[in-house]
Structure 1
């Protein structure tokens, strides 16, 4: 557990607070002067500071307390600080609360209120430390991935995409068939290109074929090619996609739409590595890695008899599931800024207003990354003054939350409350504003979630 650092020039206060905190198994450090306190802060892991505001018997200006608070903030801007004061005039303490202090308590303090405040702030500090560690670990993993992987210009920030790319890096080192699954518009071809670009076949062709756009009678010709004279109009031989991708990777998109007859032909070449052009008796060999993709439930199609089970297991040796954009909202704004920068013809790209950013984050994105790209192309065109406003996005009522979602916004989860409080550095009014709640409503939810608290403090008098 993180330590509470007590800085007060009266040893009796330090002893009393240390004993009080020990009743809740909260470790405490004591310093009698600001210099001692800053030295302890440098040597120990501290989650909260309780500091006196006056360290001189002959003055009540609070200058020493203000200087100490500012020194602590310089060293760690996120460290919560509780101010202790015995004054009847609290202007300086109130100003420091406005400057970011977590709270102030008058001497003599109320034990229950002090313990409740300390426990809340320590829990927030632990949560904030965990969040910071997670962010640092993610940045380290992203940096390591960036150094060793060709990401083909992919823009991402979410943990979900980081985990997917780490899997892609592993499977790229093999020659196994890969099945990329995910909804339409989520970027499955980009993932396939990343696997190819980081494989031993990266210097050979990457050839893509959309199986969903092929009439059944042309599947064999597109896959395997056509010899001259094979049918009317076939004046010259034409190579198929397997031949074009020789030595490289063949990406078969929308594989679930491949007709059963085409599935049989594809299964044969995957099993034997051999095929013939349409109209030819010459057997050719295939040296191609196949990556396929689908937004369909192939297992359900196998059960329904519309997709061959043996082909399914040939294709799905290793599955990479690409989450929908709604499942990785951390990627929405980086992608939006990337797409609008691409659309900028000259000069600086339009900036996103705060209202536009909120609308982008609220939208459910049924069309995924493809929809976002189109939305930002529209916004770049309409934002003539260089600032994207909500009306430029063209999302309309589709971006408004459903009644159920609105109720969820009124009932933030315990994790959301903790995150908001951590982001607000323990300032309840600021956290309540971020959550769209009144301060009293946030206190009620803190009580409901077992986050120790007293009644909300009234205004200083």
Structure 2
């Protein structure tokens, strides 16, 4: 028996789109609509057009259409381990994109909304679902859901709200139901309260007659509160009560009025952040959102917008030039951040059209701030427009396209070269920073610098090869693509030639550096345990600092260090000399320890002091007090060698020399 599984694509947005479309496809299949067979085929990852085949038609009419559809999918595609997955690959995402676009266009209420990107189309499809969705009031009676629309200024929140209102009013059977809009931004707290709820005569000074608020004016219709995040606390509380009860009172009156108005709210604020900051009521936020909200992405995040939508906007305004706009103009529009979003874009396009005088819209027709931002880029960063634009209607020739590619290559070459291998760069900097006029040192610098330059140029050619390949994949004229492919091949050949030169030169330079004194010194310092945790860059700087300090204080010492380094391991030789000296000192110390211990027999009393504790005057006194060394030995407990050594150390004549044992 076949099992059906629900794999999802990579990416949160893509998965959300697939789940949203699956829900609708299942609804269509269950309801047995005329398009049920196409929906069934699409559900299993096939194109909707394939659903017109007899086998899909039969499966859609089966008692269990999903299981029947799985059988059809298994026959057409095969089943792995008896499992058939619903659609989830790139082809299915493309089909979902087309489905969302068709759903937007099939209702005139949404046709005026400009959108082709996946994220915005998904929000519009969800808006259609929420437009006619019903909730319940506190008495259990059905009521339309409030909807929160979020997005930057100018993205089309009000236009979307009008589309939602149109669908809802049509379902209610009131096609001319009122649609009121209240813009909160810039109003005082008192004016907001009065504008929203109205007032009665005498409510405050100057209130000479009753006045309807926007909520009452929207009775049996819709009120859009724009920038709801700017509502003051008192208005937030009164709006919350209305959403809960559908009742409100005007300013200055005690009785409540029932109003059948649907509330839509729009804001560019992050309401959750305002809630966390204590500036917006949490209960009102959840009442407005009611479970979900609609989020319209800004213009710069709408994939393909300038490629797909800008031409639509131009055509909708009667622009008929061929082409409508140059590639450079389109790229300049896409490069601008558009803080004002659609509202700003429409204004820019209308101005540009008036300047173009019916001709193709070019960069020169755009506002100066757009021109400056685009033209400040180096030529290779705006290459797609430069390569594709036609000038005065002239068709590009092979020679002209090749010439343009050469100009782009020059622009690329004018950039700073890419970074070479870090270890090569550090070595070159280390050697160049040493003030050593020796010919072998200068030769080493030259060799390492040549390796750095070769590596940089090799990386530059690889980057150009990649850049030409990327440009060739753009939507460019065939003559340009061929010129780019030729440039890509040439860059590849140059990169290979540079790499061969690197492979030939590197062993020679490395062999030379093996015997270079300063490189040997750097390697020896790096091997010392105390420097094991230091990175290579800091190590090089440390060694340079030490050498520079020595050179400043004792210029001749550098020549001596170089000479010692040329004889072998500098630190090994130092360690050997230090070790030798330490061994000699150790032998002396061991001798001292042996002889400084007093020789004590049963007939002698222990010494009053150790030999090292006697002062020179005390040693002189000993030589005068005792006629024989044996007497001095019995008195002090010191052996003859110890007595002789300390007398010699202090320069005191030894009167018992003849008495010393041989």
Q: TM tier, shorter chain?
A: 0.5 to 0.7
**1:165-204 equivalences in 2 (<5 Å):** 165-174=124-133, 175-199=144-168, 200-201=171-172, 203=175, 204=177
Give 1:438 deviation, angstroms.
Answer: 3.7
Give the 3-state SS of the residue equivalent to 1:218 in structure 2.
Answer: helix
What whole-Å deviation, never above 9, does each CA across 1:324-367 have from its counterpart, x for those lacking one?
101114223554344445656xx857932232122222222222
From 369, 372, 376, the counterpart of 1:397? 372
Q: SS at the partner of 2:253? A: coil
Question: Are the aligned partners of 1:428 and 1:439 in contact in 2 as well (CA < 8 Å)?
Answer: no
Question: What runs of 5+ residues in structure 2 fail to find an aligned partner?
Answer: 1-88, 134-143, 385-411, 413-462, 496-662
Residue equivalent to 1:223? 196
Displacement after TM superposition at 1:383 (Å): 1.1
Provide the C-alpha distance between the structure 2 equivalents of 1:150 and 1:391, rounded to a whole number of angstroms.
Answer: 36
User: 1:140/1:230 Cα in 2 relative to 1: closer, same or farther (>3 Å)?
Assistant: same
User: TM-score with structure 2 length normalisation?
Assistant: 0.42
- Match of residue 332 from structure 1: 306
The structural deviation recorded for 1:134 is: 4.8
CA distance in structure 1 between the partners assigned to 2:265 and 2:342 by the alignment = 19
Q: CA RMSD in A?
A: 3.8
Q: Residue in 1 aligned with 2:113?
A: 154
Contact residue 363 and residue 400 of structure 1 kept, 8 A: no
| Aligned-partner Cα distance in 2 for 1:267–1:194 | 24
Kindly tell me: are residues 141 and 306 of structure 1, through their superposed partners in 2, closer, same or farther at Cα, counting changes over 3 Å? Answer: closer
CA distance change for structure 1 residues 402 and 388 in 2, over 3 Å: closer, same or farther? closer
Partner of 1:322: 296
TM-score by length of structure 1 reads: 0.58
In the TM superposition, what are the counterparts of 1:9-158 in structure 2 within 5 Å? 134-148=93-107, 150-151=109-110, 153-158=112-117
CA contact (8 A) 2:180 2:223 kept: yes
User: Aligned to 1:250, what secondary structure does the other structure show?
Assistant: strand
| Residue 8 (structure 1) aligns with | none
Given that residues 117 and 303 in structure 2 are in contact (C-alpha distance below 8 angstroms), is that contact kept between their aligned partners in structure 1? yes
Q: How many residues align?
A: 309
Residues 207-218 of structure 1: pairs in structure 2 closer than 5 A = 207-218=180-191
* CA drift at 1:154: 1.4
Report the counterpart of residue 87 of structure 1 in structure 2. Answer: none
In the aligned structure 2, how far is the partner of 1:386 from the partner of 1:172? 42
Relative to its length, the structure with more helix (as a share) is 2
| Closer, same or farther: CA 236–441 of 1 in aligned 2, 3 Å | farther
Q: Which moved more, 1:302-311 or 1:385-394?
A: 385-394
> Is the contact made by 1:340 and 1:379 (CA closer than 8 Å) also made in structure 2?
no
Alignment of 1:356-371 (within 5 A): 356-371=329-344
State the distance in 2 between where 1:442 and 1:431 align. 15
Judge conservation of contact 2:146–2:289 (CA < 8 Å) in 1: yes
Return the alpha-carbon distance in structure 2 between the equivalents of residues 165 and 419 of structure 1: 34
Rg (Cα) greater in structure: 2
1:241 paired to 2:214: yes
Tell me the equivalent position of 1:291: 264
Q: Distance in 2 between matches of 1:338 and 1:423?
A: 18
3-state DSSP class of the match of 2:153?
A: coil
**How many angstroms apart in 1 are the aligned matches of 2:311 and 2:476?**
26
Structure 2 residue matching 1:371: 3-state secondary structure = helix
Distance 1:217 1:444, change over 3 A: farther
CA distance in 2, matches of 1:227, 1:444: 85
Q: Comparing both structures, which one devotes a greater share of its residues to strand?
A: 1
Q: Secondary structure at the match of 2:113?
A: coil
1:295 Cα offset (Å): 1.0
Question: In 1, distance between residues paired with 2:178 and 2:494?
Answer: 61
Q: How far, CA to CA, are the matches of 1:167 and 1:210 in structure 2? A: 25
1:311 maps to which of 284, 308, 311: 284
